[in-house]
Structure 1
Amino acid sequence: MITLYKSKKLRKAMLSPARVLFLPVLFLMMQSALFAQPKAAGEPFALISSPSHNFMNAMWSPDGQTIAFSSDNFNGIWLADANGHNLRQLTDDGAVGFGFSWSPDGKFILGRPAVYENRRRFHKVKIYDVNTKQEEVLLENTRDLYGLPAWTPDGFQVAMVRNGNIEFSSSERLQKNRSEKPDNVVYAINGKLFNINQVTRSDVEITAFDGRVIFNVSISPDRSKVAFQVQGKGLYVLNTDGSGLQHLGHGEHASWLPGSDYIVVTMVEDDGHYITGGELYAINVATGQSHHLTGHTQLIALKPAVSPCGKWVAFDNPNDGNIYKMELR
């Protein structure tokens, strides 16, 4: 079941070829919690490894009991328990590991796999049941999908941009697993961030970087702030009402701590061809002050993922293809 919504702002934004939708949704685990400056509590250790796969792009389940991740070229999605045991593959769909996301109740994973027909690339939108491994297609092969689909905050629908429309897709399976009340959705397209009300479909432009791509959008657990990257400009944080825009340097892949006061990012170095370094930093989003988390290790730490409880951060290391885990305090 798909419903359509098209705003004047969105129709105007869709005119540019640089069209990206990011709608990541984070589940609130510890409302109004207060956390001190995060610091490393020990050495990172290899949590998940395989002799036949290079793993990457880890993401914690909302309850913190499971980690989902992908492999080379974002092919397939795997699952493991939080202790690294019970490794199993959820799907072998191609490119599905790029931009996948957990449903708020942790029962499903949303993905955008790629398929090829007559040497042409298409995308599907699918949900995967993490317990039964059953799959459901929400959108069949298309070349009209812009950016990444994502969950609405209540887990009842999946939002996507296609053919100039915001579409909200659902199914009987999702309707049975509605977990929270509806809320606003933040999405990025053509250098603009919009905040759209899931019920009324009204939208508000909260910031704009015309001519620049906005990506890696990450909503804080209390849904009051959004961190995002701007092509060629770096990392920013903004209140979801459009106030308080701050530039936070050049960190990447922001992951929030439960108190919504800090993010963990990676600072990446390269030689123009290969990644040569990656360090994790915790940043206070109010002051911009940062603390180096991985200065004591030689690992290249990429794509940090903070656990819902805030005690752990997972990341991948391209040198050995392992998923690492480090304790925070």
Structure 2
Amino acid sequence: MKTKLVLGAVLLLGLQLQAQEVSRVKEISLKEEFTNPLASPDGKYAILTQEHNHGVFLLNIQTQEITPISPNEGIGYGYSWNPDSNTFYYKEKKEKEYFSDAKVKGYSISSKKITSLDINHNFLPSYNGKNDVVVHTNPSTLRIEATNVKTLKTWLVTGDEGQYYNAILSNDGTKVAVHKGAEIWVYDVNGSEKGKLIGQGIATAWSSDDRFLIGFLDESRDGHNISNSEILLFDVENSNTRKLTSTENQIEMFPSLYGNNQIIFSEERTGKIYTSTLKF
């Protein structure tokens, strides 16, 4: 399993996690390889994709059943959940279309129906169907902006100098985690304050109470291929970082928090998906 997102490729020989940080590690038994799991708020489901962001899939975490939602190439990134845990949103494009032509689709688990949404695909993954405000990268300036989806009013969030990417809106809609090189910063969504440096790595999700960010930090020995990756927990208020895994030959990436202390993540060499319990 390879992934385009970060700083390289991958390696693994079995899964071992630090017992004092996470416990009850379980492999979800799947026939194919997957990556980038995003758990629903209620922890019953997760959205997955495959190598090179190929396709969008729905995983029932309890039954371990996989439902293909879309087979299209390159669309398995930037998806998001509605807080009701019944609907999620993803990008869709036709085979010969450019990514700039992508549309936003919504999938309802209860009705098994797909609907089209009249919103800019760049608003994902911060769009959740409930909050009026979304955050996104301006492709011209590489600054983070916020937009009210009802009024279409847009304003600058990252007033500091630099190039930013991968904005993640907090659950309460008041804070934004952004990336500047290898650094993770948090800004107020209203753009009125300077950013706060949280740590280094790739943040992937907020905790339900917005006190923590979870993410990972990969390493490359040759500058091209990923040689290792560990899961990290970032304390937003105190700017402290905890390493949740410590493995030399295993590539744990793309963690997602759900419930009070559950984690779902992928192992990138094998394409396996795991769940575990975090000890706060």
Q: Cα–Cα, structure 1 residues 125 and 184, in superposed 2: closer, same or farther, change >3 Å?
A: closer
Indicate the RMSD between aligned Cα atoms, in angstroms. Answer: 2.8
8 Å contact from structure 1 (residues 95, 112) kept in 2? no
Pairing of 1:210-289 with structure 2 (within 5 A): 212=163, 214-230=164-180, 232-242=181-191, 243-270=193-220, 271-289=222-240
The residue number in structure 2 matching 1:78 is 57
1:103 is aligned, of 73, 79, 82, to: 82
Q: Does 1:317 align with 2:267?
A: yes
The residue number in structure 2 matching 1:47 is 28
8 Å contact from structure 1 (residues 266, 301) kept in 2? yes
Q: Cα–Cα, structure 1 residues 48 and 219, in superposed 2: closer, same or farther, change >3 Å?
A: farther
Q: Cα–Cα, structure 1 residues 262 and 149, in superposed 2: closer, same or farther, change >3 Å?
A: closer
Instruction: State the shift of 1:240 in Å.
Output: 2.0
8 Å contact from structure 2 (residues 48, 56) kept in 1? yes
Q: Does 1:294 align with 2:245?
A: yes
Deviations along 1:44-103, one digit per CA (max 9) or x if unpaired, are 3322432xx320010111222111111122112222222352232222222221112223
8 Å contact from structure 2 (residues 143, 165) kept in 1? no
Q: Distance in 1 between matches of 2:245 and 2:149?
A: 39
Question: Quick one: percent identity of the two aligned structures?
Answer: 22
| Structure with greater Cα Rg | 1
Instruction: State the shift of 1:297 in Å.
Output: 7.4
Q: Cα–Cα, structure 1 residues 104 and 241, in superposed 2: closer, same or farther, change >3 Å?
A: same
Name the SS for the 2:238 alignment partner. coil
Deviations along 1:110-140, one digit per CA (max 9) or x if unpaired, are 22234333x977534322333444333447x
Q: Distance in 2 between matches of 1:77 and 1:48?
A: 18
Q: Distance in 2 between matches of 1:187 and 1:301?
A: 26
The residue number in structure 2 matching 1:303 is 254
What TM-score does the superposition give when structure 1 sets the normalisation length? 0.68
Pairing of 1:135-146 with structure 2 (within 5 A): 135-138=114-117
Q: Distance in 1 between matches of 2:122 and 2:150?
A: 22
Name the SS for the 2:199 alignment partner. coil
Amino acid corresponding to residue 280 of structure 1 in structure 2: I
1:195 is aligned, of 139, 146, 151, to: 146
Pairing of 1:98-137 with structure 2 (within 5 A): 98-117=77-96, 123-137=102-116
The residue number in structure 2 matching 1:31 is none
8 Å contact from structure 1 (residues 257, 264) kept in 2? yes
The residue number in structure 2 matching 1:57 is 36
- Range 271-280 or range 201-210, more displaced: 201-210
Deviations along 1:12-51, one digit per CA (max 9) or x if unpaired, are xxxxxxxxxxxxxxxxxxxxxxxxxxx623153322432x
8 Å contact from structure 1 (residues 281, 293) kept in 2? yes
Structure 1 stretches lacking a partner, 5+ long: 1-38, 140-144, 156-179
Q: Distance in 1 between matches of 2:69 and 2:172?
A: 29
What TM-score does the superposition give when structure 2 sets the normalisation length? 0.79
Q: Distance in 1 between matches of 2:183 and 2:195?
A: 13
Instruction: State the shift of 1:199 in Å.
Output: 4.2
Amino acid corresponding to residue 260 of structure 1 in structure 2: D
Amino acid corresponding to residue 188 of structure 1 in structure 2: T
Q: Cα–Cα, structure 1 residues 296 and 276, in superposed 2: closer, same or farther, change >3 Å?
A: closer
Q: Distance in 2 between matches of 1:137 and 1:61?
A: 20
Structure 2 stretches lacking a partner, 5+ long: 1-19
Q: Cα–Cα, structure 1 residues 128 and 284, in superposed 2: closer, same or farther, change >3 Å?
A: same
Q: Distance in 2 between matches of 1:106 and 1:298?
A: 35
